[in-house]
Structure 1
Amino acid sequence: MPMTAASGRTGTMAILMSFWAWCGLLCFPMIGLTEDYLDAPTAFGSGGAVLIGQTAGLVLFLTAVTLARPFQLLASLTRLSLAQAAIVVIIYLSLGLQLQGDEGSTFIGIFYTSLLMMTALTLSVVWTLEPNDLESGLGMASIIFCVFGISALAVLGLPENRNVGGIQPNLFAAPLLIAFILSQFRPGLISLAVRIACFAMVALVSSRFALIGCITALLVYELTYRPLSAWKLAALVLVVVSGIILWPQIASMLALDDPSRDASSGFSGRDEYWYSALAAITDHPFGIGFKRATAAEAGHNGYLKTVVEFGVVGGGLIIFLLACTIAAATLDVVKSAGRTLQDHRFACARLAGLVALAFGAFFQPQLLSLGDAFGVSLLLLLFRPRTKPAPHRAPVTRLHAPAMPG
């Protein structure tokens, strides 16, 4: 039965409001964390109010989409690309890895794995919203994540030893990186202000993966959204020269030689963690199941954790298919150049986000996750379904047209 305009609008608002609420619940409960939380071995995505917020936000979003767009949700599988569908199949087949250990662990593992598939398909429905609604929805999500950072600093004070109260630097910076990425879907001064504020807050806690992620997202977006111009070449030369001159200050901000930052500092600071993950892969080459890896086995690396959980074959295929999706997103940028300016901006912003998050996954504990802004945003960008541009929308005449404020 076709939807009326009123019911369709109500459903759209329900999806957007539940998505915004989920974004808020993924980050704002962290403001209540105590410093004892920093010593928890599995701090990322666990703990009292944080866990309650994650669960409540996910349940709210899944319920809203299921009630508002049941037919689009059922059709999600038919709209996926071959790479996206293959990832879903691998996740489904990994249910067999959960049939080990005690009954409680098996049940929880099966539940989490099924929920991961359901969430990926549900997030794909967001892309079926009208372009203006999608633009506003992702723009508002970026503001929510940005306001989290501002609120945390206002309530907890400036960072001490890079920690904002009880919030570890990378936990604090992850939502800000996502805010930076999502703000690129919406033009205007507000989105520009979000990017500046988020980058400043990320630099304040010296979160290396988020700093490089923001820069990567900006560069990919700018180099694909508008044709390369003389001023961009001049700006690129200026940035390179400034980087050479200010390298000591940049190295200090990134703390590349700080032995106090994890096991060995350097570029990753996680060498010993990675060795532990490689040992776990050697011991369990076929995988141990989603959400079964301990903090030591995960290696504080999203790719290694994926291989530990899904096995050398399954995890390796997921990583390969992620690379295929990024390649397809690059082709989408080329194809979108003949469509509307909005279509092109979406394609460029999605590619920029995927590239930035693909880099960030080297330093984040999880590649596939339901309990943090990083994992949820990767699922959102990864599972964009195949869509066709509306025939009544005018094609792009020039890609360098100035964006409207707001």
Structure 2
Amino acid sequence: MSRAGILSNRTRRRGPWPVREIVLALWLNGFFAVMIATGGRGIELLFFNLLAGAGLVAWLVRREPARFRVGVMTSWGTLLLFGSVVVSYALNIDRFPAYFIVANMVSMLLAVGTAYLLATRAELDYRALLAFHAGFAMLLLPIPLATGQMVWGRLTGELHPNFIGMIAMVAFVGALGIRNWPLKIAVIGGTAAVMVAGSSRASIVGAALAAACYAACQAAGPVPLAERDRRTRRVALVLLASVLVVTVLWAAHITVIVSLLDSLLKVNDPYRGLSSGASGRTELWAAALELWKENPFFGVGFKGHPPLMPNHMSAHSGYLAMLAETGIVGLAGYLVICGAALVGALRWRRDPARQTALALLVSYLFYGLIEYRSVGFGNPYSILFLWIAFDGMRLPISPMGAGKTAAPSAIHAPADIRQSLWTAKGNKVLQ
């Protein structure tokens, strides 16, 4: 084969650089960079990063026509949640300064607006987006750790270890999609080390769930029969080796496994273990429920529950925080968004470009059980959740007539299959 033919094959295999995904990954890391630069004290500056990002997204899709529409469930869930936010502020307007209400309302509109623009006008390669995000995050993660000290068995610096662990977890999930194996192993190992050093238990468990989800997607992916057989044999060998190792450890001494889990999750730690109410979480959860009872339908005000909690702490649960802040109505809207996102993203399990997005969504839904993450605007994790949620149930707009949509089977198939399906119908929208 000639040199030109070899270069042609290489170019075809690698494809062009995903410039849009690289730019978005850089912007998402801007939230972490702001927190590092200000030592966690410049939270107000996160608004300007969000504002810049909204402008950036609008510029990136400025020439793209609206080719999709957001799913019905996602739309109704968003309207229900936004309406509950407005009512929660109206009923508790004396509790908050005007700038607090305006800033949160505008931030919500900007975050949802970026998700809407990307879902309706763009075809994001989430594998590339999350992989580049992981690479950029790995460049930033050593900075806050350099001045950290060990406190209660966890590396603690100016930024809270759980926040750094969350950033590392998002990078860990993105690293699963890196194609270069040495680089993938390096980023996965580095992010895992950060989570362990900071003893960020929610991040460790969330990363494990994401890895399991990604592995299941890989096993179910569209691959040739021969490759599928080889992959099945490899998985079987890994499972067999794992069973043998666990069996040997169990036979040798069961306390080896127990001590390993305890060292990672601090189950029996006197300050952070189960005997302490999971670092006091059970008390905070009970306080959040009591706070919700003050206004069961619309809550005490969006993003306004921490000042009313013991020691001005958050509820340490995104779902309970949403219940306390926006009541049953707001939580219902959020759960509709989450449910629609999960149903839609499950259709991506065979799409290599979106499998890491599904894994990230699974980790986010778990993470909200024990950490204050639901609808947020000042961190890449919450922003990515909104993008995935709006993208999951979108429907292509048919050029044949308003209101018509393509068959669901053609919507969430892998990119090459989607293109062939649409081409077969004479539709050029996705080409």
User: TM-score w.r.t. structure 1 length?
Assistant: 0.77
Find out whether 1:252 has 2:263 as its counterpart. yes
- Structure 1 residues 139-159: Cα deviation after superposition (integer angstroms, max 9, x where no partner): 221112222222323x31564
Find out whether 1:97 has 2:104 as its counterpart. no
Find out whether 1:330 has 2:346 as its counterpart. yes
Superposition deviation, residue 319 in structure 1: 1.9
One-letter amino acid of the counterpart of residue 28, structure 2: C
From 290, 307, 313, the counterpart of 2:302: 290
Counterpart in the other structure of 1:9: none
- Structure 1 residues 85-126: Cα deviation after superposition (integer angstroms, max 9, x where no partner): 122211331212211323963553244134313312313544
The percent of aligned pairs where both chains have the same amino acid is 20
Superposition deviation, residue 394 in structure 1: 6.7
C-alpha separation between the residues in 1 aligned to 2:53 and 2:144?
A: 24
Contact 2:30 2:49 in 1 (8 A): yes
Contact 1:98 1:289 in 2 (8 A): yes
Contact 2:137 2:171 in 1 (8 A): yes
Counterpart in the other structure of 2:330: 314
Superposition deviation, residue 259 in structure 1: 2.3
- Structure 1 residues 214-237: Cα deviation after superposition (integer angstroms, max 9, x where no partner): 111111101122247243244335
State the superposition RMSD in angstroms.
3.1
In 2 relative to 1, CA 122–116 (structure 1 residues): closer, same or farther, beyond 3 Å? same
In 2 relative to 1, CA 138–348 (structure 1 residues): closer, same or farther, beyond 3 Å? closer
Contact 2:73 2:336 in 1 (8 A): no
Superposition deviation, residue 167 in structure 1: 2.0
Find out whether 1:359 has 2:366 as its counterpart. yes
Superposition deviation, residue 160 in structure 1: 4.2
Find out whether 1:236 has 2:239 as its counterpart. yes
Counterpart in the other structure of 2:36: 31
Q: Which runs of 5+ in 1 are unaligned?
A: 1-11, 35-45, 338-343, 396-406
Superposition deviation, residue 135 in structure 1: 4.2
Contact 2:267 2:273 in 1 (8 A): no
Contact 1:273 1:300 in 2 (8 A): yes
Contact 1:277 1:296 in 2 (8 A): no
C-alpha separation between the residues in 2 aligned to 1:135 and 1:315?
A: 30
- Structure 1 residues 313-346: Cα deviation after superposition (integer angstroms, max 9, x where no partner): 321342244134213322332xxx4xxxxxx123
- Structure 1 residues 168-197: Cα deviation after superposition (integer angstroms, max 9, x where no partner): 210110111111122334432233422221
Counterpart in the other structure of 2:355: 348
Q: Which runs of 5+ in 2 are unaligned?
A: 1-17, 221-230, 251-255, 397-410, 422-431
C-alpha separation between the residues in 2 aligned to 1:187 and 1:261?
A: 38
User: Which structure: larger Rg?
Assistant: 2
C-alpha separation between the residues in 2 aligned to 1:71 and 1:97?
A: 38
Counterpart in the other structure of 1:218: 211
Secondary structure of 2:80's partner? helix
- Structure 1 residues 262-282: Cα deviation after superposition (integer angstroms, max 9, x where no partner): 895465751111011011111
Counterpart in the other structure of 2:112: 120
One-letter amino acid of the counterpart of residue 232, structure 1: V
Say which is worse superposed, 232-241 or 368-377, in terms of deviation.
232-241
Say which is worse superposed, 294-303 or 281-290, in terms of deviation.
294-303
Counterpart in the other structure of 2:147: 156
Find out whether 1:200 has 2:212 as its counterpart. no
In 2 relative to 1, CA 377–327 (structure 1 residues): closer, same or farther, beyond 3 Å? same
Contact 2:134 2:187 in 1 (8 A): yes
Counterpart in the other structure of 2:101: 109
In 2 relative to 1, CA 139–82 (structure 1 residues): closer, same or farther, beyond 3 Å? same
C-alpha separation between the residues in 1 aligned to 2:98 and 2:38?
A: 30
Give the aligned length: 357
Counterpart in the other structure of 2:385: 378
From 29, 47, 64, the counterpart of 2:41: 47
Contact 2:58 2:117 in 1 (8 A): no
From 156, 160, 163, the counterpart of 1:168: 160
C-alpha separation between the residues in 1 aligned to 2:72 and 2:185?
A: 35
C-alpha separation between the residues in 2 aligned to 1:373 and 1:167?
A: 16
Counterpart in the other structure of 2:321: 305
Counterpart in the other structure of 1:178: 170
Superposition deviation, residue 246 in structure 1: 2.1
In 2 relative to 1, CA 71–114 (structure 1 residues): closer, same or farther, beyond 3 Å? farther
In 2 relative to 1, CA 101–296 (structure 1 residues): closer, same or farther, beyond 3 Å? closer
Say which is worse superposed, 240-249 or 141-150, in terms of deviation.
240-249
Say which is worse superposed, 78-87 or 209-218, in terms of deviation.
78-87
C-alpha separation between the residues in 2 aligned to 1:116 and 1:393?
A: 34
One-letter amino acid of the counterpart of residue 97, structure 1: S
In 2 relative to 1, CA 235–394 (structure 1 residues): closer, same or farther, beyond 3 Å? farther
